[in-house]
Structure 1
Amino acid sequence: MFMDNILLSLARKAILPDIEFFANLGDWPLSTYDLPEKYPILSWCGSSESYDIILPTYDITESTLENMGRVMLDILSVQGNVEGPWENRISKLFWRGRDSNRYRLNLIKMSRDNPDLFNTSLTNFFFYRDEEHIYGPKSDYVSFFRFFDYKFQLAIDGTVAPYRMPYLLAGGSLIFKPDSKFFEHFYKDLIPNFHYIPVKKDLSDLVDKINWAIDNDEKAKEIAQNGRSFANENLLPRNIFCYHMHLFNELNKIIMSPVNILEDMEHIEQPKLQKCDCAVNVKDEL
């Protein structure tokens, strides 16, 4: 469904090349280096251990297609719902999420050891249910827009890269990003200590770096503003549409195999849209 929607939308706006590729509908990249043959697999998340061709995630792609519409979260809605300037935000790191990574559990312990620096808790237990009595209780839902009542955010991996990263950038808080083998389509353009603050994968230097940010408030504010500017310049709907289109055109240059429509393939038709009469209506005001 996710791939269908963006392809149908692009086909209504431009001429798409006639190409064949595999779309990975899971979170994990699939093209590991030990595969006997290489295939053009398009995925939402890449890693240093794979060679998938990376698309914008289904999350930001859907927010592009439904921008300011039925989706609750997109780059513009985040910025429109953030209240107050940097100076009014609380000087703590705020985080909510589920238990999809052991380091997230470590974060909860770190938060309890440093309550003056953190406001973090888990919203659901699935992977480590047997440890809920240690790292629980589960917290109540908090609107994503309220995350930015705080100056500091953490873009920590779940099962793969944190797909909330575009919205964290847009919110104007300072992002701490742990080292990771996973990445989204735009990570290579982010500059450490300019758009975000890098931290170690095990979070062992996170407390020190939060204290640095508190002691260097103007610099922290500047980096946070750089992150928001990056989102506005690279992650708005026009950028997501153009990225897809450019990728397909470049892919068309290197895929040499013919396109074969097999009998068991399903034709996905364009949805029936409301007819638009674009004729100019001249109104006589005299």
Structure 2
Amino acid sequence: MKQLYISFTFTILFSFYFALIQATNNQCPLSTDTNCAEKHENKYSKETNNIDTIYLNEYKKANQAHQPNNKTGCQFYTDVIDNDLEPFRDGITSQMINNVKTRGTKYQIINGRLYRDKDCMFPARCSGIEYFLLKLVKKLPDLELVVNTRDWPQIYRQHGVFGPIFSFSKTKDYNDIMYPAWAFWEGGPAIGLYPKGIGKWNDHRISIAKVANSTPWDNKLNVAFFRGSRTNSERDPLVLLSRENPDLVNAHYTKNQAWKSDADTLHALPASEVSFTDHCQYKYLFNFRGVAASFRFKHILLCKSLVFHVGDEWLEFFYRNLKPWVHYIPVKANANQETIRSLITFVQNNDVLAKTIAENGFSFIWNHLTIKDVICYWRNLLRKYAKLLKYQPKLDENLIEIM
């Protein structure tokens, strides 16, 4: 028994000694051995340089391949409209409208007047849509359409083309026809800073651009920034990275209508909301999807700050003309903390590149996403859509007139 105890003790001591030797071999001694320190520093520098090279190559490749859309005015987004209407190239019948009428709000334009279902699931959203329709109603042929005011698209591509429905956002898996969201006028998310809901795009556009133009790039805070509710877990790595490294990232969760406890903010007190204009004091801004596409994206692109756009699945009508590494830097939806850290470090080390992308993003939104552009999009979309109707719409007596 005594021999067994001695043998066991020896084994433990030997294992401890071996582990200590290994640890010592992997560390620099507490001396002036600069060769050792340089060797370890070079190891991590090489690793960083490799990642930076990958990102630089992505930037160069994207910008070399980028062919700017040379269309002007109302023709700028015609490719998006044509692509969305392609599934209905053989025409739209009245039966197809009947197939989808329960999935949204039915509208008709008859003899230059606008009509709608009596009930609208989200009245403010319908008002935001009707603002644009009423501006165009005298210039459009008779037509009828079904508009989805929910966040989620309705016509799954694999189920076939059984009817057209208009949605503000979708993924490539849906046949919904995209339209400019109601929030360009009213009905956007209601938060403390915007209790009536985010809307009046032209007002936001002017106020954000004014701050952006008066905030020089070199005066912006050299950290990444995010404020928003915990709509989904894709946002967690950035918030957790902020807690570990607040000098690199300032990202915190705010309350939303579904907030019940600090579990909904990753066990931290909810942060205060931050206005769109106050986002502009930071060099780097993060955009995440919400339930569908984010209403934040177009606003923060106007800050002349570099935008990290997380995930590429969800679209609004103007997204396809925004190019990764040209107008924003793409981030995978499942990116972990280290990937996010490496991207932020990369742009901090490549300031001219970051500023160039930031200015490209601003220029796109400022030049191609005005209220006039939104009205043009609606007009072109509905004119092309009306040509696909294989029947002459007649006034539905169950609808009410919108004036």
TM-score normalised to the size of structure 1? Answer: 0.85
Q: CA deviation at 1:258?
A: 2.5
Residue in structure 2 matching 1:197, options 329, 337, 342: 329
Query: For 2:164 and 2:264, how far apart are their aligned partners in 1?
Result: 41
Q: Which residue of 2 aligns with 1:74?
A: 204
Q: Is the 8 A contact 1:93 1:119 kept in 2?
A: yes
Q: Which residue of 1 aligns with 2:396?
A: 262
Q: Which residue of 1 aligns with 2:354?
A: 220
Q: CA deviation at 1:251?
A: 0.8
Call closer, same or farther: CA 1:128–1:176 in 2, change over 3 Å. farther
1:42 aligns with 2:148: no
Call closer, same or farther: CA 1:97–1:134 in 2, change over 3 Å. closer
Query: For 1:232 and 1:113, how far apart are their aligned partners in 2?
Result: 36
Alignment of 1:128-147 (within 5 A): 129=261, 131-132=263-264, 134-147=266-279
The letter for the 2-side match of 1:58 is: W
Describe the SS at the equivalent of 2:292: coil
Query: For 1:84 and 1:104, how far apart are their aligned partners in 2?
Result: 27
Query: For 1:144 and 1:195, how far apart are their aligned partners in 2?
Result: 19
Cα deviation 1:67-86 (Å, max 9, x = unaligned): xx977952222101334211
Give the root-mean-square deviation of aligned CA atoms. 2.2
Q: Which residue of 2 aligns with 1:97?
A: 228
Call closer, same or farther: CA 1:230–1:176 in 2, change over 3 Å. same
Identity %: 30
Q: Which residue of 2 aligns with 1:168?
A: 300
Q: Is the 8 A contact 1:173 1:224 kept in 2?
A: yes
Q: Which residue of 2 aligns with 1:3?
A: 129
TM-score normalised to the size of structure 2? Answer: 0.61
Describe the SS at the equivalent of 1:211: helix
Cα deviation 1:19-75 (Å, max 9, x = unaligned): 111100111111112446522211111112211110112222449xxxxx9779522
The letter for the 2-side match of 1:55 is: Y
Q: CA deviation at 1:133?
A: 6.7
Q: How many residues of Structure 1 are paired with residues of Structure 2 in the alignment?
A: 262
Cα deviation 1:174-216 (Å, max 9, x = unaligned): 0001123211111111111010001111232221111110000
The letter for the 2-side match of 1:98 is: S
Query: For 2:246 and 2:314, how far apart are their aligned partners in 1?
Result: 29
Describe the SS at the equivalent of 2:184: helix
Query: For 1:128 and 1:106, how far apart are their aligned partners in 2?
Result: 21
1:20 aligns with 2:152: no
Call closer, same or farther: CA 1:152–1:135 in 2, change over 3 Å. farther
Q: Is the 8 A contact 1:108 1:135 kept in 2?
A: no
Q: Is the 8 A contact 1:105 1:135 kept in 2?
A: no
List 4+ stretches of structure 1 deviating above 6 A. Answer: 69-72
Larger mean CA deviation between 117-126 and 225-234 belongs to 117-126
Q: Is the 8 A contact 1:174 1:223 kept in 2?
A: yes
Q: CA deviation at 1:253?
A: 1.8
Q: CA deviation at 1:255?
A: 2.1
Cα deviation 1:74-128 (Å, max 9, x = unaligned): 2222101334211100111111111111112332112212212111111115268
More helix by share: 2
Q: Which residue of 1 aligns with 2:182?
A: 58
Call closer, same or farther: CA 1:107–1:238 in 2, change over 3 Å. same
Call closer, same or farther: CA 1:208–1:73 in 2, change over 3 Å. farther
* Structure 1, unpaired ranges of 5+: 64-68, 270-286
Q: Which residue of 2 aligns with 1:186?
A: 318
Cα deviation 1:200-254 (Å, max 9, x = unaligned): 1123222111111000001100000000000112101111111111111111121
Query: For 1:128 and 1:28, how far apart are their aligned partners in 2?
Result: 24
